[in-house]
Amino acid sequence: MGGFSWRDGSGGIDVDAKSGLVHTVKTTTGKVHDPKVTDDLIRADDPIILGDKGDVSDKRKRATQAQGVLWAVKDKRVV
């Protein structure tokens, strides 16, 4: 079916793109870094990954894109 992942704050959800139903929820304390939860939310049938720059990992981004998944996570700005 496929869905999309979205992360914000100290938790995240993975939603089915067709039905709009939530199929995965992950919550943590504020001490847990976002990327640790992101990997738990991404499923093999997710066609798009949405998130904020706290979810960015070059390794994760490249691996996701290599699988044909749209990576719609804002990159960290390098100054």
How many Å apart are CA 27 and CA 1, to the nearest integer? 24
User: Which pLDDT tens digit goes with each residue over 1-59?
Assistant: 455 554 445 667 788 877 888 888 887 777 777 677 777 777 778 888 887 777 677 88
Q: Is 12 exposed, middle or buried (0-12, 13-18, 19+ CB in 10 A)?
A: buried
| pLDDT score for 1 | 45
| pLDDT score for 78 | 63
pTM over 0.75: no
Task: Report whether pLDDT(67) > 80.
Answer: yes
3-class SS at 8?
Answer: strand
Domain limits of the chain?
A: 3-73
How many Å apart are CA 48 and CA 3, to the nearest integer? 7
How many Å apart are CA 73 and CA 38, to the nearest integer? 11
pLDDT confidence band for 66 (50 / 70 / 90): very high
- Closest to 37 (Cα-Cα) out of 23, 25, 53, 50: 25
